[in-house]
Chains A and B, each alone.
Chain A
Amino acid sequence: SAVISQKPSRDICQRGTSLTIQCQVDSQVTMMFWYRQQPGQSLTLIATANQGSEATYESGFVIDKFPISRPNLTFSTLTVSNMSPEDSSIYLCSVGHGRLTDTQYFGPGTRLTVL
């Protein structure tokens, strides 16, 4: 298993600003993912954070809006840029040791409200 922490746990931000969310794991992991969970909606994969290279984004998500860093095997950040109220959501990071088919462990999430 893996213990995952996210910072901040919640935030309220103004339109047009940016927020960086941190994800820290207590052990080295192969895979790190970022998800969005909008109210009443399912979890949607934003991107796979690749260590030492650019993240792999899913359809509908772009690097300019959601830049991701992964400097090592235990840490990643997701930035939500130029925020609008539509970005209000819970952002979750998850980790695994293989592909998505393997067990994933989720962080507690960051609840973002954009005014």
Chain B
Amino acid sequence: AQSVAQPEDQVNVAEGNPLTVKCTYSVSGNPYLFWYVQYPNRGLQFLLKYITGDNLVKGSYGFEAEFNKSQTSFHLKKPSALVSDSALYFCAVRAYSGSARQLTFGSGTQLTVLP
């Protein structure tokens, strides 16, 4: 079975400071990893994904994520946070191969960027 853990329910950071939202995963074989963002009363929006290749993935709105196979982690990062980055962030994993088409989501991390 595949699973995702987001160990922090809430992350607070000051505007202009770097931010990190943590994610660890468990899956059989190689993973596909995704980050999504959800603004209040909206659906999820895709931010970035890791498929293969370079461990540092760049995505929308200046976000990036680093894939670490040995630590089974895929932390979301941004060098300088904006107040508008405040939202709910979800990490998700899917198996690379096999019949598992299901995308498993973490429980979400609420990011608040303080002005």
A and B: interacting chains: no
Q: Which B residues are closer than 8 A to A by beta carbons?
A: none
A interface list, Cβ under 8 A from B: none
